[in-house]
Structure 1
Amino acid sequence: MRNLTLACVALRSDAPPTPEMLYAGALGVRLPYVVDREELEKGQGVLRFQLFSYYEAEKPGQPLQLRWQVRRRGQKRSIGEGKLEAPEPGAIATILRRAPEGDYEALFELRQGNQTLRRWRQTFSVIANLKARLEALEQASRWHEAAGPTEKMTVLNALEVLDKAWKGQRPETFYPLLRLLQMAEQITAGWKKGKSGWQAAPGDYWLATLYQERKVAFRLFIPRQFRAKRPIPLVVALHGAGGNEHLFFEGYGLGRVLKEAEKRGWAVIAPRAEAGLAHVGGAIEAAKRLLPVDPGCVYLMGHSMGGAHSFAAIAQFPDLFRAAAIFAGAGQPSRVPADLPIMLAVGEQEINMLKNSVEKAYHRLQELNLKTLEYKKYEGCEHLMIGREALPEAFAFFERAPQRNGQRPLQRKAAK
């Protein structure tokens, strides 16, 4: 965490970090992930946080101030705020006394006088009768063995995430836990009526499926232009090593892929990597169950390790994709159809090993006589920045991609 503090300071200024900056970077907040609504409403409990230290840092001579605001996720109106003078590890403060059921975020700010030293956010959910609701979901998953693999695994995945959060284990991302629970309940309610509980609608979804005996967790984005019976283009996004299904949605320019997809009315699916490309086949199969995917407009993108997986996916599914974009990709192409448009992108500040690998892949694709091949280099850009920088051009490249054999032309105008 100290190195992260130093990196953040270096991005803002060439000046060395002050003791105040190092101290602000060292402070962390422990906040429950799930709060029982009944306890809050009855006054039997309050939501508190406790400060702790990520690393040792000298206490500054002039004390800092910690401020916070609480609001519902997706809203700007504050429902609670407060401040703590001279914050230090071990300090405890009450952040909320009353709140209806919902998913919330707490926005924290460390200041010294008028100077903001650090800002961050943490999330929590207020949920009623969580234990009983989890038991009901578990029972429903046992009773409905014949449920489809995507709905069944989505319910089981929600159970796992919620149970861990209830026990105090840190979730791997800012899950909207109430929404996760309600989605699982919606699915099981459909089972009880003998039908699917999934209802496609615009939004961001945390889902899972079963493919080749493997659980494949994935994120799905459906744009606001979505219509239930209208074919929709789909972008399959494969993350790099050390990442997961959340990386394209929350990293790479704070989810820039979603902004580009929203402009065009396209869906995005990002699976967690699994052995044997189970995540690619599983994600595509699940997307076709959940959405009216346009089979002539399925696009592929991958970063780093996801680039290697992209080359492997092209070899395994040669007729599936309309075009592909690979950012600082590892691995080399083997079998690539000559009519598949491919864009390669790399930053000029990339490590030499990967720069050489991308260069080699480019020459290999030239040897394969691709009809459409673009190779772009980005100045002032390193490994993690390349996704953010190249995404707009990748989407523009997808829009220009010519029709492949047997695929219908792309409708250029986004659905209203």
Structure 2
Amino acid sequence: MIPNLRILVAVALLAATTAPRAGAQAPVGILSLNVRHSTLKNTTRPTGDLKAVVDSIDVQIGAAAKLGRTSEIRRLYAHAATVLARRPWTPEAEFASSLVSRTDRQVADPARPWSMRVEQIYAPSIQLDRPLVARATLRQRAAGGLPNTPMTVVKQLGTFDGVPRDLRDTPFMLEADLHDVADGSYVVSVELLDNARTLGTTSLGIVVRTGLDASIARLEAAAAKAPEPVRSDLIFPVDRLRNVNLNRIALGTFNPARDFAAAESLLVAVNARKDPWSGRTGDLKQHYLLEAAGEVMPYRVYVPKGYMPSKPLPLIIALHGLGATEDSFFDQYGKRLPALAEERGYIVAAPLGYRVDGGYGVSLGGPSGDPAAARARTLSEQDVMQVLQSVRLRYKVDDRRIYLMGHSMGAIGTWAIAAKTPDQWTALGLFSGFGVASTARTIGGIPQFVVHGDADPTVPVGGSRLMVAALKGVGAVVQYVEVPGGDHSNVVEPHFAAMFDFFDKHAQRPVVKP
């Protein structure tokens, strides 16, 4: 029986390599919540009364999705996650999941007063008979500490009476003086109490950076005079910070200390009238203006240390999974991909794909007819193709050897983009993904390396089996590796070297028949 496309796509990857984020201001996307929910169900396999409860919640999620009621969808997913973890869904738990913290400046210059607000995304059913109390604390995790490492209290920001019971109508506003706080990453936690009863705590990650406003002014002035693509490299942290503050992008997808420092370093070269990228190889973060979005987009690129502009090198475009960023293939998977790129003499470039859940042009679920989601899908696909163009402009690329690969959502995007641009790619690498069998004839002339674990709880292995069968049915060259007991992510890194072997064997772009 052929698996239903919508069902399979609905369980596309929430990448296990997603960097942990503490209190990111931008909410987790509905698609990511969908994936977490599906994976949790596939892992716990509820039965009996628990299954009946989860099935009922699923029906309610479907009804809310049809009406586009995302706040209600978030409440229902929180309910499902709680009961699947075999914890009681209490009025306090419902209240806690309704809380969210927001600020106009998630990266703060301590020279200016800073403020935040605590709101609710839906009205919980809890009965509250009196105004609440808020207790605010600034904490910091030790450098290099794991996500669950206890955080150190840096500063008590105060205890406040008379907090409104309905935080949708009247958010709680908190002002804080950060002039005595050292530069670094922090978490502001606000605990809400009804007398001695704790109702819930909401946390917001912030970054304190001295001289931020002056740095922004310098970069904006220099970018206004610089030519592309250096203009985009200079202005990126300013543009990204604006989108973080507008609640469009999570702070965890942006490293203010690293990215502002990198832009300031480029500015030194620009002021000295030098090409800031001349002669630089290794692991680099570069940028370009995605005009259709009006945003500067980042991409990560690895250039082998022996690169010479006179000698073209093969190029791999690498697409990350849902929830990850352009950094995942460089910082995760044992950092094996850039190491192999150096060893084998490949340039590797990883786009963001516009957003962490952009989908590379593929609809992966969520409310149908959502124009914002449709726009994000279009821009995600455009980002991939424009990164390809940007790398080809900056470096000497062997046009006969351009490869596309991806993990999970990235593998789904790889099959989808290849079907739209089959003449661009020499071979494909796909890990834990799913394709549309009807595109097999279009992409059947492209050699493909496919890996999937048969115990994958997030994207069922049947998706790859179906696609591989369709490809072989049209005579495609396919090397399929199905890993017994393999899960969604542990099959990736161990097969990178075999993927490079496959790419080395296919070193001439195939002629794609119309």
TM over 0.5: yes
1:2-401 equivalent positions in 2, closer than 5 A:
2-13=75-86, 15-31=87-103, 32-39=105-112, 45=113, 47-57=114-124, 58=126, 68-70=138-140, 78=152, 80-82=154-156, 89=167, 90=172, 92=174, 94=176, 96-100=178-182, 102-106=183-187, 108=189, 122-128=205-211, 130=213, 132-144=214-226, 147-149=227-229, 151-163=230-242, 168-174=245-251, 175-198=254-277, 205=285, 207-208=287-288, 217-220=297-300, 228-229=305-306, 236-238=317-319, 247-249=323-325, 255=328, 258-260=331-333, 262-263=335-336, 265=339, 269-272=350-353, 273=360, 274=378, 278-287=382-391, 300-301=405-406, 303-304=408-409, 306-312=413-419, 315-319=422-426, 321=427, 323-325=429-431, 327-330=433-436, 332-333=439-440, 334-337=442-445, 339-343=447-451, 360-374=466-480, 376=482, 386=488, 388=489, 390-392=491-493, 395=496, 397-398=498-499, 401=502
Deviation at 1:26, TM superposition (A): 1.9
Change in CA separation of 1:308 and 1:201 when aligned onto 2, cut-off 3 Å: same
Given that residues 349 and 391 in structure 2 are in contact (C-alpha distance below 8 angstroms), is that contact kept between their aligned partners in structure 1? no
Moved more, 30-39 or 330-339: 330-339
Structure with the largest fraction of strand: 1
- 1: CA distance between counterparts of 2:107 and 2:185? 10
Contact 2:239 2:296 in 1 (8 A): no
Aligned residue number for residue 505 of structure 2: 404
State the shift of 1:269 in Å: 1.0
Seen in structure 2, the aligned counterparts of structure 1 residues 91 and 136 have a Cα distance that, compared at 3 Å, is closer
Specify whether residues 214 and 315 from structure 1 end up closer, same or farther in structure 2 by C-alpha distance, changes over 3 A only. Answer: farther
- The unaligned stretches of length 5 or more in structure 2 are 1-73, 342-347, 354-359, 361-377, 509-514
Query: Identical aligned pairs, as a percentage?
Result: 13
In 2 relative to 1, CA 308–363 (structure 1 residues): closer, same or farther, beyond 3 Å?
same
Q: Which amino acid aligns with 1:218?
A: P
Aligned residues of 1:236 and 1:269 also touching (Cα < 8 A): yes
Change (3 A) 1:220 1:111: farther
Aligned equivalents of 1:212 and 1:52: distance in 2?
A: 32
Deviations 1:128-167 (A, max 9, x none): 261x5434433333323xx343x333334434333455xx
State the Cα distance separating 1:306 from its structure 2 match: 1.2
Relative contact order (alpha carbons < 8 A, sep ≥ 6): 1 or 2 greater? Answer: 2
Distance 1:236 1:346, change over 3 A: farther
Distance in 1 between the 2:320 and 2:498 partners? 19
> 1:24–1:233: structure 2 CA closer, same or farther, 3 Å change rule?
farther
The structural deviation recorded for 1:392 is 3.8
Preserved contact between residue 381 and residue 417 of structure 2 (Cα < 8 Å): no
Residue equivalent to 1:42: none
Equivalents in 1 of 2:285, 2:152: separation in Å?
25
Task: Give the drift of 1:262.
Answer: 0.9
- CA distance, structure 2, for counterparts of residue 72 and residue 290 of structure 1: 39
Q: Which runs of 5+ in 1 are unaligned?
A: 40-44, 408-416
C-alpha spacing 1:306/1:227, structure 2 compared with 1 (3 Å): closer
AA in 1 matched with 2:120: S
TM-score (norm 2): 0.56
The superposition leaves residues 38-83 of structure 1 with CA deviations (integer Å, 9 ceiling, x where unpaired) of: 34xxxxx3x4543222222226899997755135876788471448
Q: Which amino acid aligns with 2:352?
A: P
TM-score by length of 1: 0.66
Q: Is the CA contact (8 Å cut-off) linking 1:299 and 1:398 kept in structure 2?
A: no
Cα gap change, 1:318/1:399 in structure 2, threshold over 3 Å: closer, same or farther? closer
State the distance in 2 between where 1:111 and 1:235 align: 49
Equivalent pair of 1:28/1:51 in contact (CA under 8 Å): yes
Over 3 Å counting, the alpha-carbon distance change for 1:94 and 1:203 in structure 2 is farther
